[in-house]
Structure 1
Amino acid sequence: MIKKALHAVAWRTERVIDHIRGQRDTRRIIEPYIGYATPDHLVVRGRVLTSLRRNKPKPDQSRWTNFKQMFALFLTDEVAGAEVRAGGVSAISGEEGYFTLLLPRDERTGWTDVEVTIAGECTTAVCPVMIASNDADFGIISDIDDTMLQTGAYSLLRNLWTSLTGNTATRRIFPDAVTFMSALSAAGRNPVYYVSSSPWNLHHFLITIFDKAGLVRGPKFLRDLGLSETQFITGTHGDHKA
């Protein structure tokens, strides 16, 4: 009963805020996510927003500053109903701004960049897509939290403290994880995919940390923490790992 009441209040509040934002903001941009390939398609992913929240933290900045910058990553201004196009294919962004484009796959393997546009606008973004090699011996699917990234996921309080008071300059990848994943990947022949209960709001944050540590690049499967009309938190724990 309490959860339903909280959901109802949160849902109505978000709708009011979205309405106000819709009247105030006219800009639309695309936040690209790393895509992947199936036997038939290139899966191009991203999100339509009115702005991107980026910062360049310093290693010695205070935890309070880190907290404010991390909190800002969750204050997204989503754009629903935007028509997104790439390679002659189009899709409509969903309630939380997310979109997925399924492009026909050709014989290419490796990494490719797909230019995505918003219909009727000059807005463009490049969405990277990983296409597994036909010579791959196997694929690797790895969790992120406390497997690649030091998080403290075993404790909710520890996890929250680490996640909300750190930044891309202070968060640490396990050194052995970099070596191990590089060996498994065999110079990119074997594809690597990452899963986490972290929200999509942290996609760019995680990429920055991974790249800085030299961790093998790969698509990430994260979690949508947005509200829907029927759910308090969109997507249950583990749905993104299915």
Structure 2
Amino acid sequence: MRLFKKDPLQIIVFQSYGTATHLYVRGRALEDESIDLEGKHPLKLLINAYKRFETDEIAHAVLLLKLSNGKIFETVTDDKGYFLLDEQVEGLDAMANDEGWLSFEVAYKNFTSKRIIQLENRFPGEMLIPSLKGGTFSKNSSFGVASDIDDTILHTGLVSTLKWRVLYNTFLKRASKRSPLEGAAEFYHLLHRGKSGKEANPIFYVSHSPWNLYRYLEFFLKKNDFPKGPILLREFGDFLNRKKQEEKPQKQHEILNILKTYPQLKLILIGDSGEHDADIYLEIAEQHPDRILAIYLRSVKHKKRMLRVKSLYENYKSIPVLLVERSKEAMEHARENGFIE
């Protein structure tokens, strides 16, 4: 029996991606801890960080997803409150906007709880349906972008000694004060609009961060005017556990799934030279040389790691690979190769 009053319930719907006939929605049912993303006091920031990771999930809850045409689907959360709705549905593109975003609502099926009624039991969600040339939407896609987040568009400090800067940035800096790398948002908007300046090229944000940081990262991207796109993270348990040697990183699985979902879509891969992006992207490019247009890797202030990455790509000539200090260098290369206007 709990000594304190329970928090109201919420459903966090992760921005996902699908097709005109494939409804694919992920999210999590949790108690609403009222995390203040604008909190300023160090103690408040630590409390918010604690709340993000010490979640009170709603296990085995029946949820309903309602499309704008009135069609309803049912799903159930797992032991950790996560849910996945994976359905074949015709005509989803007809309900999306001109950039391919499909809006819907998710609710708890059980309306008898006062805690649920308190929040009106309706939570918005969106799924992206990219449109290739000649597609349904007025804005079409020439290519997609799969981008890392940490130290690619957001100063994190992954290469700092003992990861102390990562801990400081994550737990003692509010999202509104986190600094994007200079010119990153402008570059991503140029890629999103493409060579004609009128396209809607999808941007997929793929990170090793846990889903617990979803709202934090979503707020950061919006606050700093990055193009809206699916944010693809991983479960906290997977974040803590070391993967087996033969097991591929979650980021690699996500990018391969994007390529599988959209067989006609080519990708630009953007990451950094600090962790494993260089290895992951090289393996993907070798497996799908006709699907990867270019690889951009941000340089990090770590001599040993930079030397390793340079040697990794030294004899690789199949597709363009650029190690960049600033976004301006990537913009110039993208413009020369006809990716942006």
Counterpart in the other structure of 2:190: 183
Contact 2:208 2:250 (C-alpha < 8 Å) held by counterparts: no
Matched, 1:169 2:145: no
Partner of residue 49 from structure 1, selected from 23, 27, 30: 30
Partner of residue 93 from structure 1, selected from 74, 77, 84: 77
- Cα offset, 1:67, TM superposition: 2.3
Partner of residue 228 from structure 2, selected from 213, 217, 225: 217
Work out the percentage of aligned pairs sharing the same amino acid: 29
Counterpart in the other structure of 2:13: 32
| Aligned residue identity for 2:34 | R
Q: Secondary structure at the match of 2:208?
A: strand
| Aligned residue identity for 1:127 | G
Q: Provide the C-alpha distance between the structure 2 equivalents of 1:232 and 1:219, rounded to a whole number of angstroms.
A: 23
More displaced stretch, 30-39 vs 174-183: 30-39
Closer, same or farther: CA 27–55 of 1 in aligned 2, 3 Å: closer
Partner of residue 214 from structure 2, selected from 203, 213, 222: 203
TM-score (norm. length: structure 2): 0.57
Q: Secondary structure at the match of 1:114?
A: strand
Q: Provide the C-alpha distance between the structure 2 equivalents of 1:34 and 1:191, rounded to a whole number of angstroms.
A: 12
Q: Secondary structure at the match of 2:45?
A: helix
Q: Provide the C-alpha distance between the structure 1 equivalents of 2:8 and 2:44, rounded to a whole number of angstroms.
A: 27
Q: Provide the C-alpha distance between the structure 1 equivalents of 2:173 and 2:182, rounded to a whole number of angstroms.
A: 18
Counterpart in the other structure of 2:333: none
Counterpart in the other structure of 2:127: 129
Tell me how many residue pairs correspond in the alignment: 217
1:75-131, CA deviations, whole angstroms, 9 ceiling, x for partnerless residues?
Answer: 210011111122332111011101111242523351121111211225221111111
Closer, same or farther: CA 79–167 of 1 in aligned 2, 3 Å: same
TM-score (norm. length: structure 1): 0.79
Q: Provide the C-alpha distance between the structure 2 equivalents of 1:154 and 1:79, rounded to a whole number of angstroms.
A: 36
Contact 1:226 1:234 (C-alpha < 8 Å) held by counterparts: no
Q: Provide the C-alpha distance between the structure 1 equivalents of 2:207 and 2:240, rounded to a whole number of angstroms.
A: 20
Matched, 1:81 2:60: yes
Q: Secondary structure at the match of 1:175?
A: coil
Counterpart in the other structure of 2:44: 65
Contact 1:144 1:195 (C-alpha < 8 Å) held by counterparts: yes
Q: Provide the C-alpha distance between the structure 2 equivalents of 1:40 and 1:174, rounded to a whole number of angstroms.
A: 37
Larger relative CO (CA 8 A, sep 6+): 1 or 2?
1
| Aligned residue identity for 1:176 | G
Structure 2: 5+ residue stretches without partners: 66-70, 112-116, 134-140, 254-341
Contact 2:150 2:207 (C-alpha < 8 Å) held by counterparts: yes
Which structure 2 residues correspond to residues 2-41 of structure 1 after superposition, within 5 A?
Answer: 25=6, 27-38=8-19, 40-41=21-22
Counterpart in the other structure of 1:15: none
1:150-179, CA deviations, whole angstroms, 9 ceiling, x for partnerless residues?
Answer: 111223222122211110221111231111
Q: CA RMSD in A?
A: 2.7
Q: Secondary structure at the match of 1:154?
A: coil
